[in-house]
Amino acid sequence: MAIKFGRPIEMRDAPRRQTTLAANPLDLAIRPRRNRKAEWARRLVRENMLTTDDLIWPLFVVDGHNARTPVASMPGVDRLTVDQAVRDAERAAKLNIPCIALFPYTEPSLRDETGSEALNPNNLVCQSVRAIKKEFPEIGVLCDVALDPFTSHGHDGLIEDGKILNDETVAVLVQQALVQAEAGCDVIAPSDMMDGRVGAIREALDEAGYLDVQIMAYAAKYASAFYGPFRDAIGSAKTLTGDKRTYQMDSANSDEALREVELDIAEGADMVMVKPGMPYLDVVRRVKETFSMPTFVYQVSGEYAMIAAAAGNGWLDGDRAMMESLLGFKRAGADGILTYFAPKAAERLRNGE
Ligand SMILES: NCc1[nH]cc(CCC(=O)O)c1CC(=O)O
Ligand SMILES: [Mg+2]
């Protein structure tokens, strides 16, 4: 038999057997299955790859000492006291995860109409940034900018007569970003979807001398049902009145996502993000192709919860579903992924799985 496959090493690895011909073989010149016949062949033609460098790990922080409290709707995810957040930062550093993201559970007594705790230079987020940066200065720390963890009504902005105010909110977000930059945050990530906040924050950061602090804009963020477990985790699920559809995007739209992203880039965003992830892969693709910017995607709490819950019930192979979903983001064109699976995925990647 003629050698069709070239290099002899392939013969050693996978000796070919004479195939018994079917009674009526199809006359096919092209058989796509040839490239899938063995693991080495699949590896050779593989188009996309997930690496640990693609991962950002979101952590929830809570007041207290030496405690980890499970988030019921996110099996495997805990709220961490600051000392424990430092331990998870260490885990991230050891796994070579480039960046972590911080979200606070604010005590209800500290929440008010205007979210004033967001501007407390000693709030949980700022304490965590300082503690983590002190022990692990080499790991990137990203901080969300939005008021929802701090407001009594659970909205991302200031409210007047039931309306979310844009420009007044932006003025507060600018102060919040400065407080976080002062604490040592590396990446400011405005997640509020107010108009004009990226430009205002960039200008204020530059004026204050934080020229190197990056901005990752939640540029195309949709009003989504998939944020449910996150709102449990930060304790805004019960207090949130109404929905966020006057500022977060309508899930029916993707041209609008391009206009949003374009504005944030023009205002100075260093990186842009699409959120949620799995139901919006088309948006990730369009954004990446249109702007060639570092493009991130957030696999949000509800996406995590779906996979974790189904895996917990034995309905699907959780690890495989996790890796498949993350690879899907890469295939769509994402440069990086915020995901609660980050440490688990990094462990698998480290073990060559
Ligand atoms: N603005 C706050 C914020 N930042 C990240 C998320 C969601 C993250 C997740 O679901 O994992 C939200 C929730 C929201 O907008 O209501
Ligand atoms: Mg916008």
Give kind and range of the element (H or E) at residue 95: helix 82-95
Q: Which residues form the catalytic set?
A: 221, 275
pLDDT beneath 70: ranges in the chain: 1-19
Is residue 135 part of an annotated ligand binding site? no
Give how far Cα 229 sits from Cα of 99, 150, 316, 347, Å.
22, 17, 20, 24
Q: For ligand 1, is residue 338 a contact (CB within 6 Å)?
A: no
Token match 């540029």: residue?
219
- Closest listed ligand to the CA of 198: 2
Q: For ligand 1, is residue 148 a contact (CB within 6 Å)?
A: yes
| Residue boundaries of the structural domains of the chain | 49-350
Atom number of ligand 1 nearest to Cα 228:
10
Query: pLDDT for 331-344, tens place per residue?
Result: 999 999 999 999 99
Query: pLDDT for 96-107, tens place per residue?
Result: 999 999 999 999
**Residue 230 Cα to ligand 1 middle (Å):** 6
Q: Is the ipTM reported for this complex over the cut 0.95?
A: yes
Atom number of ligand 1 nearest to Cα 191:
1
Q: For ligand 1, is residue 222 a contact (CB within 6 Å)?
A: no
- Closest listed ligand to the CA of 272: 2
Matching CATH number, 49-350, of 3.40.1190.20, 3.40.190.10, 3.40.50.2300, 3.20.20.70: 3.20.20.70
Based on DSSP, count helices (H) and strands (E) in the chain, helices before strands: 12, 12
pTM: 0.94
Q: For ligand 1, is residue 191 a contact (CB within 6 Å)?
A: yes
Query: pLDDT for 147-183, tens place per residue?
Result: 999 999 999 999 999 999 999 999 999 999 999 999 9
